[in-house]
Structure 1
């Protein structure tokens, strides 16, 4: 997730940030991950958990407030919701059993499960945004490079050679990166590598458990990986923002309403048709984290 993220998708729930700073939620509530009714002055949301195995149904939700503090609710078995003392945060991300926050000074905070090393971010500097996979964490450095920590069993942390990046996303066993020229890089394990390499004119990306979404200039959407709803996603038009969960995908349309496709077994597509705010301007090129912060929120909420 990056600063200003207006949509988030967990393994079995979805979040939508409204223009007034409140948050909508739909889907599984077994751990309280949808208890966001009282949240106010939120400027970005994140949802924990990427894959949807039978033993990973519980999740958590994270909200970045305008004052740089961070809200969290839901599954907290590993302390992943212990963000109450965080300050000066400008971007948040959430993975399976952990929460990551990027501070204004470029340092990074992390709480939650430490076993795989995905929370080992204490020495990171100059970070502009972060993304969380299942067992790995990726940082976008302000100079356009990237770094990663955690489980690298499928090469998902091998981002050291990446340059000119403007965004990163992370899934179950993969990492995707958006370059300033509109092309997408991929490392780790994911079907559709050749298709992803052919994408052009990409302005935003999102990673689910085993799939990647790409938003193109003009509002069309590409999808690759193991997802049963690819054709439905590829039919979307006029999109301005994306999010990907374990087996479902979300987009925000230019009319301010949510599009949703994929698995709805826990009613995680319940935000479909919901209005997050007034009509929004389309994305016209890859947007760096600095672009989003300059706007105060992301493209979806001018």
Structure 2
């Protein structure tokens, strides 16, 4: 097969001259022509000012071992179900991990001295860069690297020729995800922090500087649930569904205009939300929405954005939706995984089919020709596939029978076979071919998932209230597992009831909605009914009832404070005879509690918040009173975010403002996590500490950015009332 090589545009060549692919998590496998996308993902301008952890952030669990395939720049990697890693292709820097540095292997070889692996990553790089390293994550949370180390990308404290066998990254533990760029490496810890090492001229380490590092350094971002590294840039997904990027931005691949400059500090891509997965290409980025649609931004010279246009050296800073048909326009949907190369991307759909778009000079789209595709096109594969990987110029897919299929450029035998005649042995293949005599195991895990279920068939909420749902997976061996923090969620009517990535469903206004929870290839639905109070009806959780009927506070640490709050009419229980002391509280709910305690006269100030229409009628007056009393000031973008869970820092700030206590100076608190306290709240928290308002704090950690519970909220308010009474007395 004849192959062709297209030159990059002039502007691209210029920055290449002065410059010195990633992985996709497998998901179980919908034909876009059949399945209609849910109108859930609508890009809007979020403009978050800070990078504090999202309020629904929970510690991340290490992934279960799921066999997968990963494509690097010139080599390929496979993770077997037994935890071993296999590699083939280029080995010029020892990136195959077999103890030698040579031309490589045309067949899979096992990586030396490596076992119990749960995830792998490989650099994507560029041929003119000295790239070639591989990364693996063990089940114990340690990270192992091998290959080129010229810029310290192995993370072992040196910058040298590297290692041809796996070496452990020292002083790094509790890692749950890994990613590899051309010359740098990333790791995500369970606490949501991101650590990077290697080349940093373009700021791809995200620590605010440009000095390279041979040891892990922390990026200036937390609350992260997923990471991606590619070429000379990095990206992260936070648990609130927002995407943050940093590093090189030659062609808008970061998703915002930096006027040609690089960005060494993580910054939010301004007009996307509801994202569940991210993947970076060479000079573009792809994001998977919670409804299975794909959005892209960056350089489109190779039709890499999949938006129906091609041949343009256009920098798209605004997300473009990937299509599979132009006339009429139809968006690709039902996608469960993405992987990207230099100028192409491939996706795995829910039905197990693989679709791709973009650059096709070497047949990397696997559709039988060498013509680029500006819209998603089905790869010429038969059967059900469960994982994908895209390298710079080649692609891979794992079938549900354990076989591996590859296509595209075959230099250094990265496809895992000798290309059949009449092509030369290392000639490209524009059709997928099976890697012979190699399987990753037909049984991808020791047990398979049978179904998932919710803790209830239906949920009833009052507008402004929220509830934590629980999702359970049942397996073929009869065992079950709580997967609430791993499932993905959708609401059919998000303006009536929204659902967070942590499985917290919130009632916004009266009406009906449907909740969908998805885990791998399993889906479960439940009806959500939201009832909006009328007239003087109490707020959610403020249904008057005798304290003796509250069935879940006996022996609770806040029991006496809850009793006092109920007796004073500050808060009440739920219709099912519970108080739910450990449920989180929204900003609107807390405003109502606070005003129930203070009982100020008047209707309050006129509300001018941009999102005032999202405030339930049950909370309008109390929020207006809080504004009039300067207890609430809102966010810098003019919003109040009534349904956002209130953090400890926000709650205590409001309580101290309400107390009218003299503010302490901006001194440090005595809490062990004092450094995490945001500047706006520091003097208020110091004051609360001195007056004993926040006496519910455990282990001397204030946890400023974690959600406040109902028990903590009423305790802070009861303590505030005691202080006010003492001051008056």
Q: Confirm or deny a common fold (TM above 0.5).
A: yes
Displacement of 1:57 after TM fit?
5.5
Quick one: higher RCO (CA 8 Å, sep 6+), 1 or 2? 1
Q: Which has the larger radius of gyration?
A: 2
2:252 to 136, 150, 155: 155
The question of whether the paired residues in 1 share the 8 Å contact of 2:282 and 2:341 is answered with yes
Q: Give the alignment partner of residue 19 of structure 1, picking from 72, 77, 81.
A: 81
Confirm whether residue 194 of structure 1 aligns to residue 307 of structure 2.
yes
More off after superposition, 108-117 vs 273-282: 273-282
3-state SS in 2 of match to 1:188: strand
Change (3 A) 1:29 1:291: farther
Q: 1:72 aligns with which of 138, 142, 145?
A: 145
* 1:246 corresponds to: 392
Unaligned runs of 5+ in 2: 1-22, 26-62, 98-110, 156-168, 208-218, 256-268, 309-321, 324-330, 369-377, 418-434, 452-482, 489-518, 522-729
* Deviation string, structure 1 residues 47-92 (Cα, Å, up to 9, x no partner): 01333x3x23531000000000000000000111012321000000
Q: After the TM superposition, which residues 67-216 of structure 1 pair with which residues of structure 2 at under 5 Å, given as runs?
A: 67-82=140-155, 83-121=169-207, 122-158=219-255, 159-190=269-300, 191-192=303-304, 193-195=306-308, 196-197=322-323, 198-216=331-349
The one-character-per-residue Cα deviations of 1:185-204 (angstroms, maximum 9, x if unpaired) are 00101315325232111111
Bigger share in strand: 1
The structure with the greater share of residues assigned to helix is 2
- Which segment is superposed worse, 67-76 or 194-203? 194-203
Residue of structure 1 equivalent to 2:723: none
Answer yes or no: is 1:30 the counterpart of 2:30: no
- Give the count of matched residue pairs: 290
Secondary structure of the residue aligned to 1:277 is coil
Decide whether the 8 Å contact of 1:166 with 1:289 is kept in 2: no
Distance 1:115 1:78 in 2: 10
Structure 1 residue 43 corresponds to structure 2 residue 239? no
- Superposed structure 1 runs of 4+ greater than 3 Å apart: 1-5, 279-282
- TM-score normalised by length of structure 1: 0.89
Rate the CA distance shift 1:56–1:289 in 2: closer, same or farther, 3 A.
Answer: farther
SS at match of 1:56: coil
Residues 43 and 137 of structure 1, relative CA distance in 2, 3 Å threshold: same
Match of 2:414 in 1: 268
- Give me the TM-score of the superposition, normalised by structure 2: 0.38
Instruction: Provide the C-alpha distance between the structure 2 equivalents of 1:165 and 1:114, rounded to a whole number of angstroms.
Output: 27
Query: Counterparts of 2:184 and 2:131 in 1: how far apart (Å)?
Result: 12
How big is each residue's C-alpha offset from its partner over 1:193-217, in whole Å with a ceiling of 9 and x where there is no partner?
3252321111111011111101111
Displacement of 1:144 in angstroms is 1.0
- Equivalent of 1:234, from 360, 379, 382? 379
